[in-house]
Every structure is written in structure tokens, then in C-alpha cells.
């Protein structure tokens, strides 16, 4: 796969989204694991699934659009 500006944006979007999702979910979980008295905030309990769902949903959509555009651009011209 050759590098293009679209693929760079695609990769950076996924990297940034992954880092944000991991921070939002992992920090309270690690705090709970290392400090037994720490209670997970209800906001994290409720939004954890939303963050993970958004991450995988947006990634899947980007993957599909990217690979559809790649397959359309790599088709040979008729009559060649």
C-alpha cells in the first residue's frame, strides 16, 4: 500500500482516537486496581461503553470507506 495524504489522515485519526479512548477508560480502571478504596465514577461506568463503541464504529466506517476507494481506484480501465 503506497502512502498518501488520505492514509496519513486515516492512521493519525485512529491513533489519536485510540489514545483518547485508552486514557478515558484505562486511568480510572488502573486507579481502582492499585487503590482498593477508589470507586469508579458513574460517568466512567456509563461512558466507557460509549467511548469504546464510538472508537470501533468510527474505525470500521473509515476502514470501509478507505478500502472501497482503494478498490475503485485500482480497477483497470475497460478495454485496456
One DSSP character per residue, 40-77 reads PPHHHHHHHHHHHHHHHHHHHHHHHHHHHHHHHHTSPP
Residue 71 has pLDDT above 80, yes or no: no
Q: In this predicted structure, what is the pLDDT of residue 37?
A: 86
Render pLDDT for 22-47 as a digit per residue (tens, 0 to 9): 887 788 888 888 888 888 778 777 77
Q: In this predicted structure, what is the pLDDT of residue 69?
A: 75
How far is Cα 28 from Cα 36, in angstroms, rounded to an integer?
12
Name the phi and psi angles at 45, rounded to 5. -60, -40
Residue 1 has pLDDT above 60, yes or no: no
Which percentage of the chain shows pLDDT scores above 70? 84
Q: How many CB atoms lie within 10 A of CB 36?
A: 7
pLDDT-derived band at 2 (thresholds 50, 70, 90) equals low
Name the burial class of residue 14, with classes exposed (0-12), middle (13-18) and buried (19+) by CB atoms within 10 angstroms of its CB: middle
Residue 80 has pLDDT above 60, yes or no: no
Amino acid at each position: 500500500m503506497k502512502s498518501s495524504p488520505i492514509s496519513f489522515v486515516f492512521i493519525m485519526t485512529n491513533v489519536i482516537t485510540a489514545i483518547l479512548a485508552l486514557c478515558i477508560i484505562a486511568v480510572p480502571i488502573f486507579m481502582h486496581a492499585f487503590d482498593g478504596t477508589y470507586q469508579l465514577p458513574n460517568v466512567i461506568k456509563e461512558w466507557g461503553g460509549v467511548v469504546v463503541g464510538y472508537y470501533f464504529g468510527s474505525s470500521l466506517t473509515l476502514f470501509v470507506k478507505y478500502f472501497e476507494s482503494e478498490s475503485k481506484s485500482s480497477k483497470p480501465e475497460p478495454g485496456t
